[in-house]
Amino acid sequence: MVYSSSSRANKRAVPLFRRHVAQLGGTTTLSDCLAAVRCLAQPWDWIRGPAIAQYEREFARCVGSQYAVSFGAGRVGLYGTLRALGVGAGDEVLLQVPTHIVVPNAIRYTGAKPVYVDCHLNTYNMDLAEAAHRITPRTRVLVLQHTFGIPAELEQAIEFADRYGLHLIEDCVHSLGATYKGRQVGTFGKAAFFSTEETKTISTTMGGVVVTNDRQLAKTIEAFRETCAWPGRWLTVRYVAKFALYHILTKPRLHRYARAAYEFLGNRQPLPTPTSGEELRGLRPPAYEKRLSNAQAILAIRQLARLNHNLHHRRATARAYRDLLTALGYAVPPESANANPAYVRYPIMVRDRDAALEATAPLAVLGTWFTSVLEEALSPEHGDYVAGSCPRAEFAARHLVNLPTHPRVCASDIAALCAALAGHVALEQDQTVVA
């Protein structure tokens, strides 16, 4: 072990490379990185190749659906699905907040209007009773988000969609592997879209998949995918290189220094970012409709094979957080006999987010989904959100933090983070103000 030097004999030596847990990572292995290096050494396999179709077959089998269609991002899959369902100008689509700006963007790019619905403050999933008040004759689709990998009440959602004649699309970007009554989420609606962006349960740096059991819909989505552009060679190289670099830079013994360097470089760092400047402003970027590369599919197949181990760790980590945080007075996501969450992160609400982040900064980088009802948007107005229309989501956006659950989180990290969060519990009366 390397220690930092100190001239004072009475000062305890501090490990130079002490653990610091990243908010992402841990889903990849050294052998994945070696596979990425091999991909980079085989440029003929970068863009097109047989791994894409193999990945789609294995993803469909993993989720329990008949068809899977890959895209360069989950948001593109949502856009293609809406188009395949005939959604366009004059139509309305129900979706919840908090969510990410790219979700309403995909709706708006079709010409349809996103209609925002407030969330419950225990699961951060859609309040369907509230959704009923937002129905109009123009409502065509319900996009149901399984926030943080916590399954929404799917039986109620199916009944709701049937009652109002809506297409149900599951937003599974957080919830690969989650189940509801023993059945994988993503198989309950007309279709579902998943994300394999770097912060999700498995990573291809960027990427997404649409699944469906409707043969004709699958064919229409595939036809749309055929019109999408292949990623360029340089972009593919950057995705694969970032995949390998993140495995190294998010190692707990290195992450403290890697994070400082990343923040110092800011926009000057050469690695690709997941959301373009246009998207942050609610605008459509010029190269929006993209496909997944063969190299990324190769990396995804490897992680799908380890998905059960990945999920087992996340669930065990969530149980440990639950036990420790409950003892500290935190309101934690409720357990349900119907649902087995995937817990891409573990959400809690704190009284003062800045103070909680400062208290845990020596130990980890906490996630801050969601700092806005439309995460990352320069302003929620860019997604046509009306301030004050969803007060519970706005409250959550001021108080939410999320704890890492990925496979690099160990028992000592869990204990240390929970100890650091003691005294930062969100006041109960604050939560009931908007409940």
Domain boundaries, the chain: 30-227, 307-433
pTM confidence score:
0.93
DSSP collapsed to 3 states, 193-210: EEECCCCCCCCCCCCEEE
Q: Which CATH number fits domain 307-433: 3.90.1150.10, 3.90.420.10, 3.40.190.10, 3.10.150.10?
A: 3.90.1150.10
Instruction: Determine the Cα–Cα distance for residues 237 and 79; give it in Å rounded to an integer.
Output: 26
State whether CATH 3.40.640.10 applies to domain 30-227: yes
pLDDT lower than 70: segments of the chain: 1-16, 262-269, 427-435
CB 420 within 8 A of CB 20: no
pLDDT of residue 26: 86
pLDDT of residue 253: 87
Closest CA to 403 of 363, 374, 375, 355: 363
pLDDT of residue 265: 64
pLDDT in tens, 182-238: 999 999 999 999 999 999 999 999 999 999 999 999 999 999 999 999 999 999 999
Instruction: Determine the Cα–Cα distance for residues 262 and 125; give it in Å rounded to an integer.
Output: 33
CB 362 within 8 A of CB 386: no
Residue 39: count of CB within 10 angstroms of its CB: 25
For the four alpha carbons of 355, 277, 107 and 196, in that order, the dihedral sign comes to: negative
